[in-house]
């Protein structure tokens, strides 16, 4: 993955944890009539930004340096502001609740409702700084208000909301203090709390802050719809410029659909207050375009015969390449391991002959994944006799790590397998031994 721009083991909200992936910062413009993605920036992790080999293979421009996600978000806001796009509020999740981004938002004359963590520090009085979780405990019971925040797959969403006045810590030079509050949301059944740092030029009602906080989910809907309908996550591109070109096309297509949906909804609303239909959605509009505007593909007899011949020709070429590759690989010598007495192990059903010497298990439903040793020192130390791949037994619910080593002769293989079988107490099916270097 060295040639994949920005790919690294990092946290992804889509995955729900740390994984090898690319992460992007996106900007959504949301109004009462509709919403759409209008900006994106590929996050380049610090390790990738400092790796010259990665930058060269992925085609990262020299002027692109490491920038945090809040810094990328600030650049997106600057670009949108320079194009004349104006908004009253900026909403974001916990990643974007830092002081630097909040100060830059205020410099542009916008308010914000940004999620913060429970350990976020706020000032509730002169010289009194507490965490957001501690500040929420100071809210009296009568201050909580139950309000509706929209509808989901399980019905109407109701939460308890409250706000607490806090001191502003992000006032730019030459600007007034404004009105800074900590907005707290509480689940009405389970009770967990969510925290939002809010600032407005003047006092606003609680319902306005709640509506802004709830609007943050528009970007989640845009992510899902753009992936499903315009293929935002389907681009098989790895280089820097290719990623930006693909995402630009996908965002342009989704922007067209979002604007068309907004126009159609306005037209439907003008035709009558009650039509008995739900408002048109992006997937429904895309189906209508495919059925009424885009001409259907040719499916006559010559066309079908042409595609059949094309598939069979490419399958034939692929089979020839695989056969040529197997002929260049060294032959595989099978080795039957010696099973120690007293282990109650069944006889192996047969010898698995594979070019890479992959061993398999006998009575487990999952397949074994084994990788050859790529250490040149270990290979040369044993005289270049070959690579031995041992099995990965599944014991209980966890996968044990593979024992991968190099053996010089069949006796060492049998002794080594005997020790592993006695220790693991698992069924051994077969072990393949490869002469030469299969990875060269």
pLDDT computed for residue 371 by the predictor: 35
Q: Residue 198's closest CA among 309, 123, 260, 116? A: 116
Helical axes 217-230 vs 240-271, angle rounded to 10°? 110
Question: Is 150 or 102 the better-scoring residue by pLDDT?
Answer: 102
* Percent of the chain predicted with pLDDT > 70: 71
Apex 340 CA angle, 334 and 345, nearest 5: 80
**58 token code pair:** 């992925």
Average pLDDT over every residue of 408-418:
57
Give the model's confidence band at 66: pLDDT under 50 very low, under 70 low, under 90 confident, else very high.
very high
User: Is 20 within 8 Å of 11 (Cβ atoms)?
Assistant: no
pLDDT tens digits for range 12-25 = 877 888 998 899 99
pLDDT tens digits for range 237-296 = 889 999 999 999 999 999 999 999 999 988 888 877 676 788 889 999 998 888 887 777
Give the model's confidence band at 84: pLDDT under 50 very low, under 70 low, under 90 confident, else very high.
very high
Average pLDDT over every residue of 146-160:
75
Longest dimension (CA), the chain: 86
pLDDT computed for residue 417 by the predictor: 58
pLDDT computed for residue 323 by the predictor: 82
**Strand runs labelled E in 108-265:** 111-116, 121-125, 128-131, 145-152, 155-165, 179-187, 193-200
| Gyration radius of the chain's alpha carbons | 30
Q: How many residues does the chain have?
A: 440
pLDDT tens digits for range 204-249 = 999 999 999 998 889 999 999 999 999 998 888 889 999 999 999 9
pLDDT of 35 > 80? The answer is: yes
Average pLDDT over every residue of 99-119:
94
Mean pLDDT, all residues of the chain: 76
**Ranges of each domain in the chain:** 1-92+219-295, 94-215, 297-328, 332-434
pLDDT tens digits for range 45-65 = 999 999 999 999 999 999 999
Beta-bridge partners for 129: 123
pLDDT computed for residue 155 by the predictor: 65
Task: Give CA–CA dist 344/134, Å, rounded.
Answer: 60
Q: Residue 408's closest CA among 386, 434, 428? A: 386
Average pLDDT over every residue of 352-359:
35
pLDDT of 160 > 80? The answer is: yes
Average pLDDT over every residue of 360-384:
34
Task: Give CA–CA dist 91/116, Å, rounded.
Answer: 11
Question: Is 232 or 402 the better-scoring residue by pLDDT?
Answer: 232
pLDDT of 418 > 80? The answer is: no
**3-class secondary structure for 235-291?**
CCCCCHHHHHHHHHHHHHHHHHHHHHHHHHHHHHHHHCCCCCCCCCCHHHHHHHHHH
pLDDT of 365 > 80? The answer is: no
- pTM for the model: 0.66
pLDDT computed for residue 103 by the predictor: 94
Average pLDDT over every residue of 293-316:
84
pLDDT tens digits for range 118-143 = 999 999 888 789 999 999 999 998 99
């Amino acid at each position: 993955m060295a040639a994949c721009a920005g790919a690294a083991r990092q946290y992804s909200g889509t995955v729900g944890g740390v994984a090898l992936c690319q992460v992007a910062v996106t900007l959504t413009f949301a109004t009462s009539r509709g919403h759409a993605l209008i900006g994106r920036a590929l996050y380049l992790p610090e390790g990738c930004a400092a790796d010259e080999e990665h930058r060269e293979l992925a085609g990262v421009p020299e002027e692109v340096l490491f920038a945090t996600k809040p810094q990328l978000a600030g650049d997106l806001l600057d670009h949108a502001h320079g194009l004349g796009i104006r908004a009253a509020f900026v909403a974001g999740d916990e990643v974007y609740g830092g002081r630097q981004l909040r100060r830059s938002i205020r410099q542009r004359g916008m308010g914000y409702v940004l999620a913060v963590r429970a350990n976020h520090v706020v000032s509730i009085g002169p010289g009194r700084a507490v965490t957001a979780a501690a500040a929420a405990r100071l809210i009296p019971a009568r201050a909580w208000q139950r309000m509706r925040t929209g509808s989901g797959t399980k019905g109407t969403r109701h939460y308890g909301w409250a706000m607490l006045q806090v001191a502003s810590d992000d006032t730019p030079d030459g600007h007034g203090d404004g009105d800074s509050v900590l907005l707290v949301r509480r689940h009405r059944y389970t009770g967990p709390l969510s925290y939002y740092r809010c600032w407005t030029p003047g006092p606003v009602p609680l319902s306005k802050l709640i509506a802004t906080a709830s609007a943050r989910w528009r970007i989640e809907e845009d992510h899902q719809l753009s992936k499903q309908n315009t293929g935002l996550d389907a681009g098989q591109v790895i280089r820097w410029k290719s990623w930006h070109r693909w995402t630009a096309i996908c965002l342009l297509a989704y922007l067209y659909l979002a604007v068309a949906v907004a126009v159609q909804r306005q037209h439907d609303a003008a035709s009558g207050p009650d039509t008995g239909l739900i408002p048109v959605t992006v997937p429904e509009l895309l189906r209508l375009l495919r059925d009424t505007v885009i001409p259907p593909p040719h499916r006559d007899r010559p066309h079908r015969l042409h595609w059949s011949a094309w598939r069979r020709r490419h399958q034939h070429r692929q089979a020839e390449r695989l056969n040529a590759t197997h002929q260049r690989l060294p032959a595989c010598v099978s080795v039957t391991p010696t099973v120690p007495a007293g282990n109650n192990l069944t006889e192996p059903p047969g010898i698995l002959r594979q070019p890479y010497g992959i061993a398999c298990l006998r009575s487990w439903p999952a397949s074994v994944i084994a990788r050859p040793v790529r250490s040149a020192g270990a290979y040369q130390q044993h005289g270049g006799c070959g690579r031995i791949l041992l099995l990965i037994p599944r014991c209980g619910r966890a996968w044990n790590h593979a024992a991968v080593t190099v053996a010089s002769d069949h006796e060492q293989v049998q002794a080594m397998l005997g020790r592993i079988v006695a220790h693991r107490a698992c069924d051994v099916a077969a072990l393949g031994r490869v002469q030469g270097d299969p990875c060269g």
